[in-house]
C-alpha cells in the first residue's frame, strides 16, 4: 500500500512551507539578538566617550594646577598676561579635545544605530519573504496535487474537453 504521487507532492509542499516559515522566524530572532548586542555596544561606546572626556578634564585641571604652581614659584602675578594666556591656551586645546571626543562618540553611535535599522528592515523583509515563499509553495503544491489527482478523462485542454467534443479518436 503506497501513497499516490499527488499526495506526496502536496505533503512535500507543506513540509517545505513549514521549513521556510521556521527559517524566516529563526533569521528574525537572530537579527533581534544582534540588535540587542549592538545596543549594548552602543551604550558601552557612550560610556567610553564619557570616560575619555573625564580623563581629558582631569588632564586640563592638572595642567592648570601645574601652571599655578609654576607661576607662584617663579613670581608671576595671578593676572599676568603671560600666565593667563598659557591657561587660556590649555583650555582651548582641551575644548577641542572634548569636541573631538563627542564627535567620535556620535559617529560610533550613528554606526550602531544604522546597523540596528538595517537589521530591523532585514528582519521584516525576511519574514515577509518567508510568508510569500510559503504561500507560493503551498499554492504550487496544491496545483500539482489537483492536476495529478484529477482523472485524465476529465482534464480539459484550453477549456475544451476534446474527448467529448470531438470523440475519443481525437
Q: Across the chain, what does the average pLDDT equal? A: 85
Cell of 33: 539578538
Residue 90: band (very low, low, confident or very high) from pLDDT cuts 50, 70, 90 = very high
pLDDT(110) > 90: yes
- pLDDT of 4-48, one tens digit each? 778 888 888 899 999 999 999 999 999 999 999 999 999 999 999
By three-state DSSP, how is residue 38 classified?
A: helix
- pLDDT of 140-166, one tens digit each? 888 888 887 776 655 555 555 555 555
**The three-state (H, E, C) secondary structure of 111-157, written as one string:** HHHHHHHHHHHHHHHHHHHHHHHHHHHHHHHHHHHHHHHCCHHHCCE
**pLDDT at res. 100:** 96
Residue 1: band (very low, low, confident or very high) from pLDDT cuts 50, 70, 90 = very low
**pLDDT at res. 166:** 53
Query: For 160, which DSSP code?
Result: B
Amino acid at each position: 500500500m503506497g501513497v499516490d504521487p499527488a499526495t506526496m507532492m502536496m505533503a512535500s509542499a507543506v513540509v517545505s512551507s513549514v521549513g521556510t516559515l521556521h527559517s524566516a522566524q529563526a533569521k528574525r530572532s537572530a537579527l533581534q539578538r544582534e540588535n540587542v548586542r549592538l545596543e549594548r555596544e552602543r551604550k558601552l561606546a557612550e560610556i567610553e566617550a564619557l570616560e575619555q572626556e573625564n580623563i581629558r578634564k582631569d588632564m586640563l585641571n592638572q595642567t592648570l594646577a601645574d601652571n599655578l604652581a609654576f607661576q607662584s614659584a617663579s613670581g608671576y602675578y595671578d593676572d599676568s598676561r603671560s600666565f593667563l594666556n598659557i591657561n587660556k591656551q590649555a583650555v582651548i586645546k582641551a575644548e577641542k579635545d572634548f569636541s573631538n571626543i563627542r564627535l567620535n562618540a556620535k559617529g560610533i553611535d550613528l554606526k550602531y544605530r544604522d546597523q540596528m535599522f538595517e537589521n530591523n528592515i532585514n528582519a521584516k523583509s525576511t519574514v515577509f519573504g518567508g510568508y510569500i515563499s510559503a504561500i507560493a509553495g503551498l499554492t504550487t503544491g496544491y496545483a500539482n496535487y489537483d492536476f495529478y489527482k484529477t482523472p485524465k478523462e476529465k482534464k480539459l485542454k484550453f477549456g475544451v474537453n476534446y474527448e467529448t467534443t470531438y470523440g475519443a479518436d481525437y
